[in-house]
Amino acid sequence: MLSISLLSLTTLLLTLAPTGQNPADGKGVAELNPVLSRYLQALPADWEAISPERKAQLDELAAFVHEQKQQQPLVQMTFICTHNSRRSHMGQLWAAAAAAHVGLEGIVTYSGGTEATAFNPRAVASMQRAGFAIENLGGDNPRYQVRFGPQAEPMTCFSKKYDDAANPQKGFIAVMVCSDADAACPFVPGASGRFAIPYLDPKASDGTAQEADTYDLRSRQIATEMLYVMTVAKSLSGE
């Protein structure tokens, strides 16, 4: 099993210039939003808190990202939860931003659910607090334009099923970010690989005084782990 020490990963990250990429085609570089860049720079300090069991799961995902990069110019990743309202969007956006931050080109991210609802405004607000620039284009199932850098092409985020026409239909990496979706989809048609990386649903705090803190905590956990994955994949690719 792939194993990389926290020290070596931290050293590697410090040698990588914070860059960006166009999420529409996985190519090119763009400056990250300053708040978002500072947020990502602080995350390696959290890697030590990731359990060995969890790191093993993340290492498997990173190794598969690396493997796919050796076979094709673009690596497509679809993050899947039940409603495509919270964790899957967070996974999609953090994976894209983390890849851009470490300069890992060719990573294109998507999200979907086993059913469609709406990108939850609490999750949207949490991503804005972290430094993403988000514009609500409106509608019953609002479409949001999300940028991680001032010159980056926007990522269009809205709730949809994972097999929606807006998402890749084959050759993508399926990342299951909730236990219910993981159980409901033991097989994801068209996926080149399937990985279960579940997170607790911040929905449990909705309507409470802890709501914003809970969403920010979950966002930071996903950001930390996606940065870890992209850093490991970057080190394996030798870019």
Residue (of 230, 216, 5) closest to 101 by Cα position:
230
pLDDT at 13 over 60: no
Half-sphere exposure of 1 (CA within 13 A, CB side): 12
**Residue 15 — very low, low, confident or very high, per pLDDT cuts 50/70/90?**
very low
Q: How far apart are CA 35 and CA 97, in angstroms?
A: 12
> Rg for the chain (alpha carbons), in Å?
16
pLDDT at 16: 44
Q: Strands of the chain (E only): list them.
A: 75-81, 107-113, 133-136, 144-147, 155-157, 172-176, 191-196
- What pLDDT, in 10s, does the model give residues 92-126? 999 999 999 999 999 999 999 999 999 999 999 99
pLDDT at 57: 96
Return the DSSP state at 146: E
Residue (of 157, 145, 62, 147) closest to 111 by Cα position:
157
- What pLDDT, in 10s, does the model give residues 152-179? 889 999 999 999 999 999 999 999 999 8
User: What's the mean pLDDT when you consider all of the chain?
Assistant: 89
Identify the structural domains of the chain with CATH numbers, from first to last.
6-237 (3.40.50.2300)
> pTM for the full model?
0.88
**Residue 182 — very low, low, confident or very high, per pLDDT cuts 50/70/90?**
confident
Residue (of 5, 12, 2, 7) closest to 231 by Cα position:
12
Q: How far apart are CA 197 and CA 50, in angstroms?
A: 13
Average pLDDT of span 84-91: 97
